[in-house]
C-alpha cells in the first residue's frame, strides 16, 4: 500500500477519504507523477506554491484552493509524524494563499537577456547540452506547465500543415490541443531525438549511468532547470517562471492579449493581466476612445 493510500485509509469517514483522495490526486497530477509512485519527500515549498498559483490561473474558487492546501498540509503533517519526511514543505513561510491573493503583488519575470543566458548555459554540458537547451526552449515557446513538460514524448513534436506544433494530450484539468512552435525549436528537439536514435518515446531522458534512457521525472527536470539557472547566476528558476516569462516577452514584442490567452490556454481573459507589462498602463495605450474621430473645433 502506498503512503498516500495508507494516509487516506486512516481518515475518519468515507466522505473525508474521497475528498482527500481527490485533492491529493490533483496535486500529484500537477507534479506529473502517479499517486502511488509520487516522491513526496522530494517536493519543495516552491512547487506547492506553484500548485496554488496554477489553481488560481485555472480560476478555481478560493474555497477549493484553501481546501487543497489544507489537505496537502495535513498529509505532510502525517508524513512528518510517521518519519517519512523531516519537515513539512507545505508549512514553509513561502507557501501561502495570502501571497496569491495580495492585491498589487507583482509576479517575477525574466528578461530576454536572462532567458538567453539560461539557454546558453544549458548548452554548455557536453552530455546533456542539446537536451537541456531544447527543454528550456520548449517551455518558453510552448508556454507549458510542469505536468505537460514531463509527459512529452518525441512524437508529440510534429508538423501540422505548414507549421510545427506540440500536440498536447487532454487532461482532467481541461488542457490539451496544439501549440505552435518556431521551426528552430522543432529542430532543437530533432537533434535530441537523433541522439536517442528513435522517433518515439520519452522526449526528456536521463544520460546518467544509473538510469540512462529512462524518462526524466518531474523532480529531475525541476532540479536540472534550477541547476542551470544557478550556473547562469539566476536564482530559483523553475518551469512556471520560464512559462510566465515567455508569455511576458511575447506581449512585449506585440502579441495581443487574446493571443496570450490562447497560447497559455487560459479560460478567461481576466487571467491574462498578470502577463502584461504594467497592466494598468497597457490598458491605456489603445482604448475604444482612440477610434472615435470627430471633425469638430473646440
Same domain, 162 and 237: yes
Q: Which three cell numbers stand for residue 256?
A: 495581443
Q: Are 66 and 55 in contact (CB under 8 A)?
A: no
| 190-196 mean pLDDT | 93
Quick count: other Cβ atoms within 10 Å of Cβ 223?
A: 15
Is position 198 within any domain? yes
Residue 142 grid cell:
510552448
Identify the pLDDT of residue 98.
59
- pLDDT confidence band for 114 (50 / 70 / 90): very high
Name the more confident of 296 and 132. 132
Same-domain status, 33 and 94: yes
What CATH code is carried by the domain that includes residue 174?
A: 1.10.443.10
Has residue 190 been placed in a domain?
yes
Show the CA angle centred on residue 203, arms to residues 266 and 161, nearest 5°. Answer: 65
Domain limit, last residue, from 68, 101, 134: 101
Q: How many helices and strands (H and E) does the chain possess? A: 13, 3
Mean pLDDT confidence for 70-82: 93
What's the rounded mean pLDDT across residues 167-182? 73
Q: Do 97 and 120 fall into the same domain?
A: no
Q: Cβ distance 195 to 109 under 8 Å?
A: no
What DSSP designation does 163 have? E
215 three-state secondary structure: strand
In a domain, 284, yes or no: no
Same domain, 189 and 83: no
Q: Are residues 53 and 152 in the same domain?
A: no
Q: CA-CA distance, 175 to 142, in Å (whole number)?
A: 13
* pLDDT at residue 186 in the model: 95
With a cut of 60, say whether residue 287 has pLDDT above it. Answer: no
Neighbouring-strand partners of residue 263: none
Shared domain check, 194 and 143: yes
Taking the C-alpha atoms of residue 242 and residue 99, their distance in angstroms, rounded to an integer, is 20
Do 147 and 238 lie in a common domain? Answer: yes
Q: Residue 41 is placed in which grid cell?
A: 519527500
Are both 254 and 121 inside the same structural domain?
yes
Q: Is residue 22 part of a domain?
A: yes
User: Based on the structure, what is the number of domains in the chain?
Assistant: 2
The b-or-e profile of 182-207 (16+ CB within 10 A means b, else e) is eeebbebbbebbeeeeeeeebbbbbe
286 belongs to a structural domain:
no
Establish if 107 belongs to a structural domain. Answer: no
Residue 289 has pLDDT above 70, yes or no: no
Contacts of 201 (CB under 8 A, 6+ apart): 153, 154
Are residues 228 and 195 located together in one domain of the fold? yes
Q: Report how far apart, in Å, the C-alpha atoms of 32 and of each of 29, 197, 220, 276 are.
A: 5, 25, 11, 28
Provide the 8-state DSSP code for 196. H
CA distance 206 to 128: 9
Looking at the structure, tell me whether residues 128 and 200 fall in a common domain.
yes
Q: What CATH number corresponds to the domain at position 55?
A: 1.10.150.130
Query: Of the candidates 76, 101, 126, which is a domain's last residue?
Result: 101
Whole-number Å distance between alpha carbons of 137 and 190: 13
In a domain, 225, yes or no: yes
Which range is least confidently modeled, 136-150, 162-176, 181-195? 162-176
Query: Percentage of the chain surpassing pLDDT 70?
Result: 87
In a domain, 287, yes or no: no
Which residue range is the domain that position 165 belongs to? 112-276
What is the torsion angle, in degrees rounded to the nearest 10, for the CA atoms of residue 81, residue 84, residue 87 and residue 88? -80
Query: Same domain for 172 and 55?
Result: no
Q: Are residues 37 and 141 in the same domain?
A: no
Amino acid at each position: 500500500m502506498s503512503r498516500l493510500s495508507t494516509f487516506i485509509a486512516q481518515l475518519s469517514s468515507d466522505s473525508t477519504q474521497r475528498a482527500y483522495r481527490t485533492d491529493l490526486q490533483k496535486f500529484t497530477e500537477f507534479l506529473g507523477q502517479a499517486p502511488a509512485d509520487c516522491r513526496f519527500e522530494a517536493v519543495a515549498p516552491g512547487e506547492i506554491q506553484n500548485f496554488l498559483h496554477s489553481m488560481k490561473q485555472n480560476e478555481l474558487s478560493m474555497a477549493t484552493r484553501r481546501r487543497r492546501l489544507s489537505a496537502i498540509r495535513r498529509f505532510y503533517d502525517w508524513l512528518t509524524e510517521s518519519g517519512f519526511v523531516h519537515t513539512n514543505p507545505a508549512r514553509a513561510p513561502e507557501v501561502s494563499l495570502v501571497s496569491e491573493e495580495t492585491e498589487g503583488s507583482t509576479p517575477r519575470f525574466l528578461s530576454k537577456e536572462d532567458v538567453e543566458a539560461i539557454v546558453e548555459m544549458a548548452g554548455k554540458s557536453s552530455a546533456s547540452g542539446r537536451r537541456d537547451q531544447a527543454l528550456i526552449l520548449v517551455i518558453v515557446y510552448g508556454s507549458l506547465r510542469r505536468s505537460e513538460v514531463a509527459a512529452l514524448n518525441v512524437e508529440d513534436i510534429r508538423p501540422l500543415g505548414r507549421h510545427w506544433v506540440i500536440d498536447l494530450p487532454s487532461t482532467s484539468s481541461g488542457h490539451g490541443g496544439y501549440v505552435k512552435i518556431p521551426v528552430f525549436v522543432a529542430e532543437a528537439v530533432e537533434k535530441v531525438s537523433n541522439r536517442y536514435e528513435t522517433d518515439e518515446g520519452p522526449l526528456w531522458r536521463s544520460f546518467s549511468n544509473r538510469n540512462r534512457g529512462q524518462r526524466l521525472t518531474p523532480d529531475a527536470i525541476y532540479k536540472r532547470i534550477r541547476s542551470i539557472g544557478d550556473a547562469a547566476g539566476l536564482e530559483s528558476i523553475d518551469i512556471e517562471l520560464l512559462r510566465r516569462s515567455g508569455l511576458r516577452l511575447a506581449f512585449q514584442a506585440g502579441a495581443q492579449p487574446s493571443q496570450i490567452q490562447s497560447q497559455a490556454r487560459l479560460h478567461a481573459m481576466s487571467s491574462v493581466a498578470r502577463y502584461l507589462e504594467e497592466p494598468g498602463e497597457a490598458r491605456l495605450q489603445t482604448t475604444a476612445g482612440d477610434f472615435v474621430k470627430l471633425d469638430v473645433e473646440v
